[in-house]
């Protein structure tokens, strides 16, 4: 059993339907401080590995810039590249589908499975299917999905969403995974040796691979020039699933396009170094056409991407190659956990993607940041993440998604700051600052005061000192 | 050279010594410094909370107060960054544009404009530098640990000129302290935790003082240190650079 942690953050995790916001969910996460320390250290370790890896590449910053420019070109010519990709893929014998939103995507997957009377499927890692809630949809329609990425399998067994796009179960300790495997896979009670647990998962997945006739994969890159897709995994589970299945379905967001094969090298060099500090993923598999007797489908999914493309301030977010580096480096993510973002994609990038889909529901996320800017610096495609967080704040306030109390307080502050005389009087009659900066009031209800003391007000303010000095100089 | 001294609202109210040290330090280097008395706030607290549309009158006032100077100097990186990035004026757009170019944070003003090479100050203590994010990643006062690029640190260059001062190394050189403006109350749990962790790094590495170029971060860490009844103190970098050479 789990001994070293209290269980406050265990169990069915908040998936966003609880309605709680990031601050509330982080507060719950922080009730177990040793666990926060563990989570922070674990992810910081990944960031450190990233630093080591990127520092072996002297041209790293140029690589980032080049990749960013390639994606810039893609976003500026997206429709043309998509049509080129479709044409090539069809010529390769692939069936291409277009899905405007999550619902259409899920229905397409289901219809393909129905056509083949398939009710069990394996799936390798795909954040897009998380975004579309495909598993839920299929299980409601009587289709069983087995996630074959080890981390995803673990959160699937725990009935939780992934907490990280690259490391889906990074929030779980090995003892907790041992518990899950004991219940679901029959490992010995108390077994927490990663090697033993991995072996158990391997055996279990092997039988799934051998018996499932359909395999769904995500897509890391889609090459317009050739119509092929590239899937990056460390476990080879995408290959295993696809090679043993009669039907291969690949789901991709429309932004996954790169123009030519020769561009792939830039992204492969950047992706895993940024993600985990590895030079490259163990498997970078190219799928171009179905093998004889197999059916291959590619579903091109929009689900809000065109809209984001149309928002000038936020379109760069579509350059994302889902490396997760912005999460590993984010001091807030490390101390609040992925589930606190209550969206399929957590961390800084999730916070700029989510409001595009639902401003009201995700209005809290752009505020879940100190705007420290570390995310933008690690991002391999140079997305201006923290600037976009700032810009989302302006949009959300203007659209009325911020509490009226806060809005009133801000108006009062703005009003006062525009009248120097009033500001001076307020300064003399006690510290006006205490009144207008809500976090400065020293009482138990004030969140500042919970773990922090107030600054001690000095005898005189600087402007009082300055006035006194001027007077003395005149004498 | 006439310099307008921009003292952010909370520095004026809570940390007058840092403001006094800034003024005296600039005067030591022969700069003619004026503090325009009608100044209030740069508008950052509102803008970072999503209310930048409310800060236009703050902006106009800022332009009125500061456009006459050759330079504007301020002992707070984040306020300077805000002015540099976001100051706009409907009435006098050219003046606002000029201000965005001539506003400097104190450290960069000393190293880049005055190009000072030596200082007369003594501060015989172990000191940790807190790289505040806006100063570092925004104003590029120091190289950022995320980038593959040559290392440098403007605050460190200055502190190395101070007699008796011993700089300590941190385990995480440039992690955020968690202040983040209204973030510190809106996201109390994470903000406090970040502050505690940042302070712990300095303490574990033997700091007696934590210094930096941004008092908002220092105020946050001071709040944590005082609650923990720690002997470690925070001090603005201007106060160290202006310290008595013969204490
Ligand atoms: S935003 Fe950048 S750093 Fe974050 S996951 Fe996407 S590519 Fe990686």
Question: Considering A404, A433, A454, which residue would you say is the last residue of a domain?
Answer: A404
User: What tens digit of pLDDT does each residue of B227-243 get?
Assistant: 999 999 999 999 999 99
Structure confidence at residue B79 as a pLDDT band (50, 70, 90):
confident
The answer, yes or no, to whether any atom of ligand 1 lies below 6 A from the CB of A218, is no
Domains in chain A, number: 3
User: What tens digit of pLDDT does each residue of B4-21 get?
Assistant: 999 988 888 889 999 999
Question: Considering A303, A321, A348, which residue would you say is the last residue of a domain?
Answer: A303
User: What tens digit of pLDDT does each residue of A283-310 get?
Assistant: 999 999 999 999 999 999 999 999 999 9
Rounded distance, CA B230 to CA B235, Å? 14
Rounded distance, CA B146 to CA B150, Å? 11
Q: What is the pLDDT of residue A43?
A: 98
Which three-class secondary structure state does DSSP give residue A160? coil
Instruction: Sheet with B2-5: list strands edge to edge.
Output: B32-34, B2-5, B71-74, B103-105
A202, part of any domain: yes
Which residues of chain B make contact with A367, given a CB cutoff of 8 A? 49-50, 183, 186-187
Query: Are residues A170 and A195 both part of a single domain?
Result: yes
CB contact under 8 A, B194 and A55: no
Query: Are residues A159 and A238 both part of a single domain?
Result: yes
Query: Are residues A423 and A444 both part of a single domain?
Result: yes
Rounded distance, CA A153 to CA A170, Å? 12
Percent of chain A with pLDDT over 90: 80
Q: How far is CA A39 from the centre of its chain?
A: 16
Question: Considering A342, A370, A404, which residue would you say is the last residue of a domain?
Answer: A404
Backbone angles phi, psi at A154, to 5 degrees: -65, -50
The answer, yes or no, to whether any atom of ligand 1 lies below 6 A from the CB of A389, is no
The answer, yes or no, to whether any atom of ligand 1 lies below 6 A from the CB of A127, is no
Pairing of β A283-287 and β A228-233: antiparallel
Query: Are residues A81 and A191 both part of a single domain?
Result: yes
Check CB contact of B218 with chain A, cutoff 8 Å. no
Q: What is the pLDDT of residue A406?
A: 60
A409, part of any domain: no
Average pLDDT of the residues of chain A: 89
Q: What tokens does A141 get?
A: 């329609």
**Sequence-distant contacts of A346-352: CB under 8 A, at least 24 apart:** A346/A163, A346/A164, A346/A165, A347/A164, A347/A165, A347/A375, A348/A375, A348/A385, A348/A386, A348/A389, A349/A317, A349/A320, A349/A375, A349/A383, A349/A385, A351/A389, A351/A392, A352/A314, A352/A317, A352/A385, A352/A388, A352/A389, A352/A392
By Cβ distance, the residue of A368, A393, A415 closest to B187 is A368
With residues binned 3-state (H G I as helix, E B as strand, rest as coil), the percentages for chain B, rounded to 5, are 45, 15, 40
Site from A26, A338, A439 to mutate, B interface, most B CB atoms within 10 angstroms: A439
The answer, yes or no, to whether any atom of ligand 1 lies below 6 A from the CB of A318, is no
> Domain span at residue A144?
77-303
Considering only CA atoms, which of B27, B21, B23 is closest in space to residue B6?
B23
Query: Which residue, by CA, sits nearest to atom 4 of ligand 1?
Result: A326
Please tell me the least confidently modeled range out of A145-159, A286-300, B179-193.
Answer: B179-193
Q: What is the pLDDT of residue A213?
A: 94
User: What tens digit of pLDDT does each residue of A413-457 get?
Assistant: 555 555 555 455 455 434 545 544 545 455 555 677 788 887 777
Query: Are residues A216 and A107 both part of a single domain?
Result: yes
Q: Where are the alpha helices (DSSP H) in A186-304?
A: 194-211, 237-244, 264-275
Chain A nearest-CA residue for B44? A414
A158: domain CATH number is: 3.40.50.10420
Query: Are residues A329 and A462 both part of a single domain?
Result: no
Rounded distance, CA A312 to CA A395, Å? 12
Query: Are residues A43 and A136 both part of a single domain?
Result: no
- The partner residues of A257 in beta bridges, in order of sequence, read A222
Query: Are residues A458 and A343 both part of a single domain?
Result: no
Q: Tell how far the Cα of B238 is from the centroid of ligand 1, in angstroms.
A: 37
What pTM, to 2 d.p., does this model score? 0.91
All domains in chain B, ordered by first residue: 2-113 (no CATH), 126-241 (3.40.50)
Helix (H), strand (E) at residue A177: helix A174-185
Q: What is the pLDDT of residue A402?
A: 75
User: What tens digit of pLDDT does each residue of A179-222 get?
Assistant: 999 999 999 999 999 999 999 999 999 989 999 999 999 999 99
Residue-wise burial string across A412-422, b where 16 or more C-beta atoms lie within 10 A, e elsewhere = ebbebbbebee
Q: Tell how far the Cα of A381 is from the centroid of ligand 1, in angstroms.
A: 7
A223 CA: distance to closest CA in chain B (Å) = 29
- Give B59's Cβ-side CA count (13 Å radius): 25
Which three-class secondary structure state does DSSP give residue A415? helix
Query: Are residues A42 and A19 both part of a single domain?
Result: yes
Query: Which residue, by CA, sits nearest to atom 2 of ligand 1?
Result: A379
User: What tens digit of pLDDT does each residue of B38-52 get?
Assistant: 887 666 766 676 766
Query: Do A168 and A126 meet the contact criterion of CB atoms below 8 Å apart?
Result: no
Query: Are residues A455 and A325 both part of a single domain?
Result: no
Q: What is the pLDDT of residue A122?
A: 97
Structure confidence at residue A403 as a pLDDT band (50, 70, 90):
low
Closest ligand 1 atom number to CA of residue A319:
7
Q: Quickly count: other Cβ atoms within 10 Å of residue A96's Cβ.
A: 18
CB contact under 8 A, B227 and A44: no
Percent of chain A with pLDDT over 70: 87
Strand locations in A92-156 (E): 95-99, 120-123, 144-147
User: What tens digit of pLDDT does each residue of B206-229 get?
Assistant: 999 999 999 989 999 999 999 999
CB neighbour class for A6 (10 Å; exposed up to 12, middle 13-18, buried from 19): exposed
A362, part of any domain: yes
Residue-wise burial string across A180-212, b where 16 or more C-beta atoms lie within 10 A, e elsewhere = bbbebeebeeebbeeeebeebbeebbeebbeeb
User: What tens digit of pLDDT does each residue of A315-338 get?
Assistant: 999 999 999 999 999 999 999 999
Q: Report B:57-96 residues touching A (Cβ under 8 A).
A: 57-58, 60-61
User: What tens digit of pLDDT does each residue of B133-159 get?
Assistant: 988 888 999 999 999 999 999 999 999
Closest ligand 1 atom number to CA of residue A327:
4
Q: What is the pLDDT of residue A5?
A: 34
Q: Report A:424-463 residues touching B (Cβ under 8 A).
A: 424, 427, 431-433, 437-439, 446-448, 450-458, 460-463
Query: Are residues A316 and A299 both part of a single domain?
Result: no
Query: Do B63 and B95 meet the contact criterion of CB atoms below 8 Å apart?
Result: yes
CB neighbour class for A265 (10 Å; exposed up to 12, middle 13-18, buried from 19): exposed
Q: Tell how far the Cα of B144 is from the centroid of ligand 1, in angstroms.
A: 18
Q: How far is CA B12 from CA A357, B26, B38, B178, B215, in A?
A: 43, 17, 13, 22, 11
Tell which wins on pLDDT, A277 or A474: A277
A240, part of any domain: yes
Q: Quickly count: other Cβ atoms within 10 Å of residue A35's Cβ.
A: 20
A281, part of any domain: yes
Rounded distance, CA A334 to CA A347, Å? 9
Q: What tokens does A468 get?
A: 């006194």
With residues binned 3-state (H G I as helix, E B as strand, rest as coil), the percentages for chain A, rounded to 5, are 55, 10, 35
Q: What is the mean pLDDT of residues B161-168?
A: 98
A12 pLDDT more than 60: no
Considering only CA atoms, which of A237, A208, A266, A201 is closest in space to residue A61?
A266
Rounded distance, CA B209 to CA B236, Å? 10
Q: What tokens does B228 get?
A: 């923990």
Query: Are residues A240 and A127 both part of a single domain?
Result: yes
Q: What is the pLDDT of residue B50?
A: 73
User: What tens digit of pLDDT does each residue of A335-366 get?
Assistant: 999 999 999 999 999 999 999 999 999 999 99
- The complex's ipTM works out to 0.92
Structure confidence at residue A6 as a pLDDT band (50, 70, 90):
very low
The answer, yes or no, to whether any atom of ligand 1 lies below 6 A from the CB of A268, is no
Which residues of chain A make contact with B232, given a CB cutoff of 8 A? none
Q: What is the pLDDT of residue B137?
A: 87
Site from A44, A63, A418, A470 to mutate, B interface, most B CB atoms within 10 angstroms: A418
């Amino acid at each position: 059993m789990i001994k070293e942690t209290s269980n406050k953050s265990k169990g069915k995790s908040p998936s966003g339907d609880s309605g709680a916001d990031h601050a509330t969910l982080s507060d719950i996460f922080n009730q177990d401080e040793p666990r926060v320390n563990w989570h922070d250290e674990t992810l910081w370790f990944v960031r450190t590995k990233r630093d080591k890896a990127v520092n072996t590449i002297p041209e790293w910053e140029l690589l980032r810039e080049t990749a960013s420019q390639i994606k810039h070109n893609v976003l500026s010519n997206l429709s043309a590249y998509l049509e080129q990709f479709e044409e090539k893929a069809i010529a390769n014998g692939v069936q291409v589908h277009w899905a405007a939103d999550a619902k259409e995507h899920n229905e397409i997957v289901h219809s393909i499975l129905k056509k083949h009377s398939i009710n069990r499927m394996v799936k390798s890692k795909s954040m897009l299917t998380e975004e579309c809630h495909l598993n839920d949809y299929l299980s409601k329609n009587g289709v069983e999905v087995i996630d074959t990425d080890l981390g995803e399998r673990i959160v699937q067994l725990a009935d939780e969403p992934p907490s990280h796009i690259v490391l889906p179960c990074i929030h779980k300790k090995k003892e907790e995974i041992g518990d899950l495997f004991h219940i679901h896979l029959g490992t010995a009670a108390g077994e927490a040796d990663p090697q033993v647990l991995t072996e158990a998962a391997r055996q279990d997945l092997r039988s799934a691979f051998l018996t499932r006739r359909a395999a769904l994969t995500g897509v890391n890159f889609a090459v317009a020039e050739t119509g092929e897709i590239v899937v990056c995994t460390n476990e080879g589970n995408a290959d295993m699933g696809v090679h043993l299945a009669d039907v291969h379905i690949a789901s991709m967001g429309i932004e996954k396009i790169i123009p030519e094969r020769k561009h792939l090298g830039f992204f492969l060099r950047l992706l895993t170094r940024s993600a985990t500090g590895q030079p490259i993923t163990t498997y970078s598999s190219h799928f171009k056409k179905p093998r004889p007797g197999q059916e291959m489908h590619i579903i091109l999914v929009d689900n809000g991407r065109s809209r984001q493309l149309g928002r000038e301030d936020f379109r760069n977010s579509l350059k994302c190659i889902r490396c997760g580096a912005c999460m590993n480096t984010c001091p807030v993510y490390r101390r609040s956990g992925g589930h606190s973002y209550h969206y399929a994609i957590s961390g800084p990038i999730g916070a700029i993607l989510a409001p595009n889909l639902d401003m009201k529901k995700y209005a809290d996320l752009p505020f879940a940041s100190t705007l420290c800017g570390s995310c933008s610096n690690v991002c391999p495609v140079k997305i201006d993440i923290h600037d976009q967080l700032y810009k989302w704040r302006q949009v959300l306030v203007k659209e009325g998604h911020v509490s009226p109390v806060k809005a009133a307080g801000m108006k009062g502050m703005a009003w006062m700051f525009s009248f120097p005389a009033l500001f001076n009087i307020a300064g003399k009659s006690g510290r006006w600052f205490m009144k207008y900066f809500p976090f400065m009031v020293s009482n138990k209800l004030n969140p500042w005061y919970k773990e922090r003391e107030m600054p001690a007000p000095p005898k005189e303010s600087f402007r009082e000192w300055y006035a006194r000095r001027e007077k003395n100089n005149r004498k | 050279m006439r310099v307008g001294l921009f003292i952010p609202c909370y520095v004026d109210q809570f940390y007058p010594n840092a403001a006094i040290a800034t003024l005296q330090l600039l005067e030591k280097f022969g700069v003619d410094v004026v503090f325009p008395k009608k100044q209030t706030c740069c508008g950052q607290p509102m803008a970072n909370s999503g209310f930048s549309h409310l800060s236009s009158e703050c902006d106009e006032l800022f332009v009125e107060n500061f456009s006459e100077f050759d330079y504007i100097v301020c002992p707070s990186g984040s306020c300077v960054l805000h002015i540099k990035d976001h100051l706009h004026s409907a009435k006098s757009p050219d003046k606002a544009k000029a201000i965005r170019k001539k506003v400097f944070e104190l450290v960069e003003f000393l190293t880049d404009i005055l190009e000072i090479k030596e200082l007369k100050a003594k501060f015989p203590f172990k000191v940790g530098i807190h790289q505040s994010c806006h100063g570092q990643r925004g104003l590029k006062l120091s190289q950022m640990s995320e980038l593959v690029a040559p290392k440098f640190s403007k605050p460190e260059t200055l502190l190395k000129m101070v007699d008796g001062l011993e700089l300590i190394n941190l385990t995480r050189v440039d992690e955020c302290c968690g202040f983040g403006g209204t973030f510190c109350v809106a996201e109390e749990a994470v903000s406090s935790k970040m502050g505690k962790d940042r302070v712990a790094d300095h303490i574990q590495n033997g700091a007696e003082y934590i210094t930096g170029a941004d008092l908002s971060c220092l105020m946050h860490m001071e709040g944590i240190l005082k609650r923990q009844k720690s002997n470690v103190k925070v001090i603005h970098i201007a106060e160290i650079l202006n310290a008595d050479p013969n204490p």
